[in-house]
């Protein structure tokens, strides 16, 4: 059955890869700008992709705080709370690297346009607003090693702080003044809400569970990364083939990022993560490692159905997962998404930023927080 599942997803990913290839080759007749490389590296030396990305992100949090010049002071304090440089800034880093990779590809320009840098800010603001709301929904006490907004100021004010960050992001987005980019990034907000809604429900049918999980994963995590990548590509280059490459890279890296997040909930410690681990099980969520483990230990099915709600369920499920190869299988699935991301981004002309994006997909797989 495991083999069947693996084959099914392999076929699924190959099918979508073929479709992408088809649409790309179809559009290829209208452009000669897309490169298909057998050797994806430019050969230029670069260090940590985050180091390279952060070079273009100096003053990111100061600039975000300027967007949040809000009164009264309490609302300002709450909405600024997470813009303290303690997050990984994963989304802004991808966004500026993608901006430069697309600009280089299109006209060999090495600059990041002001509007593209704004997308990095907006992506981090949408992400942060969703964290603030998520912590209310989950009644979470800690994030990034500190108390959550809801624990300090209470749920009602936390909801409003999240709304305020989202509205400041919307104002910054409108200021860019590009309607295509506005619709790309507002789609993200819809997806975030739909993803969170999907997570509130569960599928009784075992066969539907994996598809439900992957759809939730795309909407909650990958859509923001995919669409932010697409937005900077639209701002930097008129070629729709490049927009699709940027989107596909972001989508695949985003799914892999969430799959590894789900693995870390089982393998990392709370000090490392800055929040409690086994959090998903405690919330009643069956993520990748559990779904794979259930194929080896069908007795987990009952636990999944009752959302780990009886005393001892969380510990039992955790033991099943750790005895199974659920963690390895989920990591392997994440690897496949990363390979697909690399295959996509390798179609752009070589540049240090393109190569940093290739390397970044590897760091997604090896990260420990
Ligand atoms: C539209 C504001 C808004 C939200 C409504 C609550 C909600 C719908 C969506 C929740 C989306 C959510 C919190 C997804 C989790 C994504 C994720 C992997 C978070 C962790 O990202 P990291 O590891 O965090 O990049 P840091 O702390 O490094 O920024």
**pLDDT tens per residue, range 93-148:** 999 999 999 999 999 987 899 999 999 999 999 999 999 999 999 999 999 999 99
Q: How many CB atoms lie within 10 A of CB 343?
A: 19
CB of residue 225 inside a 6 A radius of ligand 1: no
Tallying the residues shown for the chain, one arrives at 369
DSSP assignment of 188-213 equals HHHHHHHHHHHHHS--SSHHHHHHHH
**pLDDT tens per residue, range 54-84:** 888 999 999 999 999 888 899 999 999 999 9
**Does residue 356 have a cis peptide bond before it, meaning omega lies within 30 degrees of 0?**
no
pTM of the model: 0.88
Residue 136 alpha carbon, nearest atom of ligand 1: 6
Give 32's pLDDT tier (boundaries 50, 70, 90): very low
| pLDDT surpassing 50 at residue 7 | no
Average pLDDT over residues 219-226: 98
CB of residue 221 inside a 6 A radius of ligand 1: yes
CB of residue 168 inside a 6 A radius of ligand 1: no
Helices 90-107, 223-236: crossing angle, 10 deg rounding: 30
Q: Where are the domains of the chain?
A: 47-366
Please give the Cα distance from 354 to 294 (Å, whole number).
39
The matching CATH number, chosen from 3.40.50.720, 3.90.78.10, 1.10.287.1770, 1.10.600.10, for 47-366 is: 1.10.600.10
Residue 137 alpha carbon, nearest atom of ligand 1: 6
Instruction: List the structure tokens of 35.
Output: 């490169």
Residue 129 alpha carbon, nearest atom of ligand 1: 2
CB of residue 192 inside a 6 A radius of ligand 1: yes
Contact partners, residue 324, CB within 8 Å, separation at least 6: 289, 292, 293, 296, 297
| Cα Dmax for the chain | 62
Mean pLDDT over all residues of the chain?
87
For residue 284, the 8-state DSSP code is T
- Beta pairing class for 142-143 and 146-147: antiparallel
Contact partners, residue 92, CB within 8 Å, separation at least 6: 53, 57, 60, 120, 121, 123, 124
129 and 166 in contact (C-beta within 8 Å)? yes
**What distance in angstroms lies between residue 220's CA and the mean position of ligand 1's atoms?**
7
Give the residue ranges of DSSP H helices in the chain: 2-28, 49-55, 60-67, 73-80, 90-107, 114-138, 149-153, 155-176, 179-200, 206-217, 223-236, 240-267, 270-273, 279-282, 288-296, 300-305, 313-323, 326-345, 352-366
Q: Which phi and psi angles does 338 have, rounded to 5°?
A: -65, -40
């Amino acid at each position: 059955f495991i083999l069947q599942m693996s084959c099914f997803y392999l076929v699924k990913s190959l099918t979508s890869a073929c479709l992408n290839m088809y649409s790309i080759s179809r559009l290829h007749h209208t452009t000669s700008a897309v490169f298909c490389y057998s050797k994806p590296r430019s050969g230029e030396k670069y260090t940590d992709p985050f180091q390279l990305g952060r070079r273009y992100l100096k003053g990111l949090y100061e600039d975000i705080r300027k967007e949040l010049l809000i009164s009264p002071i309490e609302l300002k304090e709450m909405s600024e709370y997470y813009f303290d440089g303690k997050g990984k800034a994963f989304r802004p880093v991808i966004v500026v690297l993608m901006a430069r990779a697309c600009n280089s590809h299109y006209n060999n320009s090495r600059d990041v346009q002001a509007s593209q840098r704004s997308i990095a800010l907006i992506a981090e603001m949408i992400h942060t607003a969703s964290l603030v709301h998520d912590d209310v929904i989950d009644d979470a006490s800690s994030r990034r090693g500190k108390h959550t907004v809801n624990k300090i100021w209470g749920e009602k004010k936390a909801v409003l702080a999240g709304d305020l960050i989202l509205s400041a992001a919307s104002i910054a987005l409108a200021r860019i003044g590009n309607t295509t980019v506005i619709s790309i990034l507002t789609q993200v907000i819809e997806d975030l809400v739909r993803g969170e809604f999907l997570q509130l429900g569960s599928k009784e049918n075992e066969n539907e569970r994996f598809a439900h999980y992957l759809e939730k994963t795309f909407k909650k995590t990958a859509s923001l990364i995919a669409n932010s990548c697409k937005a900077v590509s639209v701002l930097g280059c008129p070629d729709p083939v490049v927009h699709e490459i940027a989107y596909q890279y972001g989508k695949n890296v985003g799914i892999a990022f969430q799959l590894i997040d789900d693995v870390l909930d089982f393998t990392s410690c709370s000090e490392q993560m800055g929040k409690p681990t086994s959090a998903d099980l405690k919330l009643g969520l069956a993520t990748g490692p559990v779904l794979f483990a259930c194929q080896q230990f069908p007795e987990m099915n009952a636990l999944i159905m009752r959302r780990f709600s009886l005393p001892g369920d969380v510990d039992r499920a955790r033991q099943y997962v750790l005895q199974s190869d659920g963690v390895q299988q989920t990591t392997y699935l994440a690897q496949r998404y990363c390979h697909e991301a690399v295959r996509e981004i390798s179609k752009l002309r070589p540049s240090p930023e393109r190569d940093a994006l290739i390397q970044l997909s590897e760091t997604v797989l090896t990260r420990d927080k």
